[in-house]
Structure 1
Amino acid sequence: MPNNPSSAVASERTADSGQKWPYHYSIYGLHLCSEIPLPELRAAQPAPGEIFVYRANLKPLARGLKRVGNRLRVTPSEALLIYDQVGLLRIEEGRRITFDVPEDLPAETLRVLILGIGLGILMHQRGHLVLHASAVAMGERVVAFIAEKGYGKSTMAAALHARGYQLVTDDVLVLDEQSDGPPLVLPSYPQLKLWPDALAQAMHTMPDGLPRVHPAIDKRVTRVPQSVDRPLPLAALFALRPGETIQIRPLSGQEAFLELLLHTYTRVLLEQTRTLARHLQQVGYLTRYVPVMALERPPGLELLPDVVAAIEAFMQQERA
């Protein structure tokens, strides 16, 4: 018998051709096989899997481990996480996400963890630079937004989407480094999470009838009809900041480097996963090829159309 309580299941299932899994999806250019429905993702035809999501008995792994935040154990190939009133989540080798949660846990709550922190860590394990950012495609180029929580990353993506631009990702930006040139942004899934006021102002949509991200949180989830389904080059990064007027200005190399470190999705795991050196190299590469701009604007949503116009004008200049 294997020591790892889920390894027997994992080895059996990852060797499978993919035909026996009930649900198949495409995410970040990879084929995901799941034993539970993940309706946020793009459905795919059955095929050999590259990512596997399923229930496993993780409690034996957690016994005796010291908790630091939501982390029980993190190594270069594994992350074991615990969440109060939710359960355990394990991400392994850039291939598997297993969960051990109560049967009566709302499916939406579990999916938020799998599709957010679960896939974010998994793509980090696969060697990608993962940023806490939202992004849209303006033609064949991607613009992304980084900011502190609550500063409007999703709102900016929603406002640009309402102008006709395709959504690339909301919250988790996964980059694929190229040998010569800017990184490619890997396609995520067609969904935005917005507070009711931002939903109404940015997308002219009322929140009534839209599901909440969690029963106790008023933020809503909305699927969008237009989203990117292929890798596209990253053309610009905007760091959202408060200001008295709408202004776009370049950050110095050092400012840009620190801003990207701050908004790394897996920042707290870099030392434990022994990937800090790799990550610093990836951030340096990104700042060489992609302009990082400060986007300052007054608080509130009233000037959102003007902010969108400023971004469009900047990108037109960049193209010239």
Structure 2
Amino acid sequence: MNYLAFGLNINADIDFSDMLQPSSESANVTIKKAVIPEEDFEFTNVFRKGVQASIAFKDKTVILNWEGIVRCQISAGKELLYQDLGDDQQTLKLFLLSEAIGILLLQRNIFLLHGSAVLIGKQAHVFVGEPGAGKSTTAAAFWKINQTILTDDLVAIDLEKDRPMLIPAFPQFKIWDNTVEGLNVEPSLLRPSFEGNKKYLISQDFDSFPTKPCELKSINILTLEENSEPLNMLNVPIELLKHFPLPHQILRGLVHANHFKSAVKLSLTSKIVKFNRPNGFDALGTFVQNMTSEYEAK
């Protein structure tokens, strides 16, 4: 079966029909089951479901290992092999669509950030920030007023065009339990998340979810700092490096250099600002309404 995610036409031997839109196009990426030998793995800075990922490099492939869950081998931006290590299938699918697909996108020269993105009008707006700064809650507040969440974890940006383009991920996002209460989300929309009882999954409408890249208008860096200094262009590459979503071992050589150059390009073509997220759901609601009104009017 062929599916669409992150602008990729994916042929997969695992059923993604509850998460991904079907694709009628020829596949340019393959996801399939395989036996992947253990390597001399090194622990990364990435945790999911309480499990620390480990990584190895072999020839031109990257092998990502989540003990007891899945082992992935990613090659040439075209092939993602996986070995099921014993967890349930829903968890397996979500892990394949996180750092594993991120490595494949990086191999295809896509610029990546850890954050959320929403669509206002025809333009994309990204929210990144340190843990607890409120990027996913902010995105959910936009969804609550009928805006589309383009991604809530892995932000993929194509810089090959004249303008940077945000590549929609897939029509599903995660929401925290306190956000469910604060935004008064209808319980019937919630599904359990693999990350425990404090997160839920929400699916957006498949038919209306964008399938084409959207022009990137702004990157909003949310901070918990009381008196953060204004962001200037010289700080942008360092600031965005903090929000690289993949294991730090990947950021070496040309990958590191390209990330820096891409961040500089973004600073010249997109609005990049740093600020504290409004405190409290009432203030957040006002912020979201104002930002929506501002950009829908343009």
What TM-score does the superposition give when structure 2 sets the normalisation length? 0.86
Residues 187 and 229 in structure 1, CA contact (< 8 A), matched pair in contact too: yes
Structure 1: gaps of 5 or more residues:
1-22
Aligned twin of 1:19: none
Contact 2:154 2:245 in 1 (8 A): yes
- Could you say which residue in structure 1 is the equivalent of 2:108? 126
- CA change 1:289–1:256 in 2 (3 A) is same
The residue aligned with 2:92 is 110
Larger Rg: 1
1:294–1:311: structure 2 CA closer, same or farther, 3 Å change rule? Answer: farther
* Number of the residue aligned with 2:200: 220
Q: Deviations over 1:183-236 (max 9, x none)?
A: 01112111110112212333x324467322227443000002253221111001
Indicate conservation of the 8 Å contact 1:91/1:118, yes or no: yes
CA distance in 2, matches of 1:252, 1:140: 27
- 8 Å contact 1:236–1:292 — kept in the other structure? yes
Count matched residues: 287
Q: How does 1:82-121 map to 2 (within 5 A)?
A: 82-102=65-85, 104-121=86-103
SS in 2 for 1:68: strand
2: CA distance between counterparts of 1:315 and 1:243? Answer: 27
- Superposition map of 1:8-19 within 5 A: none
Matched, 1:29 2:7: yes
Q: Deviations over 1:123-166 (max 9, x none)?
A: 00111101112111111111110011232212111111222222
Is contact 1:243–1:298 with CA below 8 Å preserved after alignment?
no
RMSD: 2.6
Give the match for residue 71 of structure 1. Answer: 54
| Identity of matched residues, % | 23
Alignment partners' CA distance in 1, 2:283 and 2:226: 12
Residues in 2 aligned to 1:97 and 1:175: alpha-carbon distance in whole angstroms: 20
Post-superposition offset of 1:93: 1.1
- Partners of 1:267 and 1:85 in 2: how far apart? 19
- Distance (whole Å) between structure 1 residues aligned to residue 266 and residue 141 of structure 2: 25
Gaps of 5+ in 2: 45-52
Equivalence for 2:34: 56
Matched, 1:189 2:170: yes
